[in-house]
């Protein structure tokens, strides 16, 4: 299994979530983070305001999936999160050894 971590613009969350649901992704974890990208000193727009400061509010999505879903999930996230402007986001993939569903104790793909 793999963990896909996506840092995206907050207003794209609903679209990213819908796209993942359409792929059959059954769970995800979301948190608020502050992002810092390559454009030091440049500006990004958030809720109509320009941010020239270093850090910009972003949303982090974490989703554990089966290996064979990685390509489709990356494609879906990138498509739903892209606006074409700087600061659109970064996604990374890491390997997961084990997953457990707490309620049932199930492990592996069955626990997703």
Ligand X SMILES: Nc1ncnc2c1ncn2[C@@H]1O[C@H](COP(=O)(O)OP(=O)(O)OP(=O)(O)O)[C@@H](O)[C@H]1O
User: What residues make contact with its own copies under the rule CB under 8 A?
Assistant: 1-3, 6-8, 17, 21, 26-38, 40, 54-55, 58, 60, 64, 70, 74, 77-78, 81-103, 105, 111
Site string for ligand X, 66-95 (x = CB under 6 A): --------------------xxxxx-----
35 is an interface residue for Mg ion by CB under 5 A: no
Q: Closest approach of Cβ 88 to Mg ion, in Å?
A: 8
Cα 26 from Cα 96, distance rounded (Å): 17
Sorted by sequence, the CB contacts under 8 Å of residue 45 that are 6+ apart come out as 51, 85
Residues 45-74 that bind Mg ion (CB under 5 A): none
DSSP class of 49: E
Cα 62 from Cα 35, distance rounded (Å): 15
């Amino acid at each position: 299994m793999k963990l896909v971590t996506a840092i995206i613009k907050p207003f794209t969350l609903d679209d990213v979530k819908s796209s993942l649901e359409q792929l059959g992704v059954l769970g995800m974890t979301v948190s608020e983070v502050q992002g810092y990208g390559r454009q030091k000193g440049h500006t990004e727009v958030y809720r109509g305001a320009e941010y020239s400061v270093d850090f910009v509010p972003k949303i982090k999505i974490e989703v554990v999936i089966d290996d064979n879903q990685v390509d489709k999930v990356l494609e879906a996230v990138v498509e739903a999160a892209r606006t074409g402007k700087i600061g659109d986001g970064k996604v990374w993939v890491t390997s997961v050894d084990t997953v457990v569903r707490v309620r049932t104790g199930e492990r592996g793909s069955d626990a997703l």
